Amino acid sequence: MNLAAVQTFLSIVDTGSLVRASQELNVTQSTVTARLKTLEDALGQQLLNRQKSGTTLTPAGAKFLRYARTMTGLWRQAKYETALPAGLASVCTFGCDRELWHGPGRAFFNGVVGGRDDMAVAVRQGSAAELENWLAEGMVDVILTYDQVARGSQTVHPLPPEELVLYSDRPDTPIDNDPLYIFVDHGAEYRQQHDEFYHHAGVARISFDSSWWALQHMLEHGGSAYLPRALAAPYVEQMRLHLPAEAPVFYRKKSLIVRDTAARNWTWFAPLVEALSAPVA
């Protein structure tokens, strides 16, 4: 099967039209059309409905989409591994939720790199949905995510939950009704817990869906917010952040999810997961 045709099919699906796919791939629209026809002839199925407003997947196209993403992901991985320079025998491709790099993400990365001079490591940051797709498509070997569900030949390794703690730039900040309070959206479960405890508080004037952005805003302009303990700890040591007394601590589950085929020969993986799962002193 022509891999260029498969990649062209994915580009059409992702952009929504043959014209935009041709622009993305930097080829003529006739080339895009020819590649799609080649792929459909090879499969004996129409994959896309062509309309003036764009393209939509046929039932056959929807079925083929998952395999197309997997094929292109495996091809990228194969190119990466076969192109490794002398002295490197394998590669670990690690996908990490943007919110988890500070602390567990960096700890996993350092654990892989340390003492394994023959292994290359590639790191990709992404949202929960992106990480899930990348793992299913073979674009990454292991992900650090708030998800807890394995799909297919994957194994979930639960890690200690993330602690979300109230921090402030002022040591005497009240735990509620702080006019400089910043709401950080840590997901649906957190929102429920937060609303139950702070049901009497009003809506925060400023909100972020990124702990890092909220932290930077606090350091520059002041305020209080719930942040991961691992992210805020260095600033507490520097006395730039403080912990208001009696504020509740919330928790968010996190886990490593690994493709079983990738981890089959990783003798270092189980000890590293055990180390990451150990209670923090």
Domain boundaries, the chain: 3-74, 81-158+255-274, 162-252
Q: What is the 3-state secondary structure (H, E, C) of 149-161?
A: CCCCCEEEEEEEE
Mention every residue, 6+ apart, whose C-beta is less than 8 A from residue 188. Answer: none
Count CB neighbours of 28 within 10 A: 10
**What's the rounded mean pLDDT across residues 160-186?**
90
Which band of pLDDT confidence, cut at 50, 70 and 90, is reported for residue 87?
low
What is the H or E stretch that residue 56 is in? Answer: strand 54-57
Give per-residue pLDDT as tens, 20-40: 989 988 889 899 899 889 988
Closest-CA residue to 233 (of 167, 159, 146, 171): 167
**What's the rounded mean pLDDT across residues 270-275?**
93
> Higher pLDDT residue, 17 or 80?
17
Residue written as token pair 């959206």: 185
> What superfamily would CATH give domain 81-158+255-274?
Periplasmic binding protein-like II (3.40.190.10)
DSSP helix/strand/coil, 224: strand
| Out of 66-75, 177-186, 234-243, 271-280, least confident range | 66-75
**What's the rounded mean pLDDT across residues 193-197?**
90
| Out of 28-37, 88-97, 140-149, least confident range | 88-97
Rounded CA separation 115/113 (Å): 6
Which band of pLDDT confidence, cut at 50, 70 and 90, is reported for residue 46?
very high
Structure-token pair, residue 67: 């395999």
- Per the confidence metrics, is the pTM higher than 0.85? no
Rounded CA separation 167/215 (Å): 9
Work out the burial of residue 262: count CB atoms within 10 Å of its CB; fewer than 13 is exposed, 13-18 middle, 19 or more buried.
Answer: buried
Specify the CATH architecture of the domain 3-74: Orthogonal Bundle (1.10)
Give per-residue pLDDT as tens, 202-222: 788 899 999 999 999 999 999
Is there a shared CATH topology between the 3-74 domain and the 162-252 domain?
Answer: no
pLDDT higher than threshold 80 for residue 68: yes
Count CB neighbours of 234 within 10 A: 11
Work out the burial of residue 145: count CB atoms within 10 Å of its CB; fewer than 13 is exposed, 13-18 middle, 19 or more buried.
Answer: buried
> What superfamily would CATH give domain 162-252?
Periplasmic binding protein-like II (3.40.190.10)
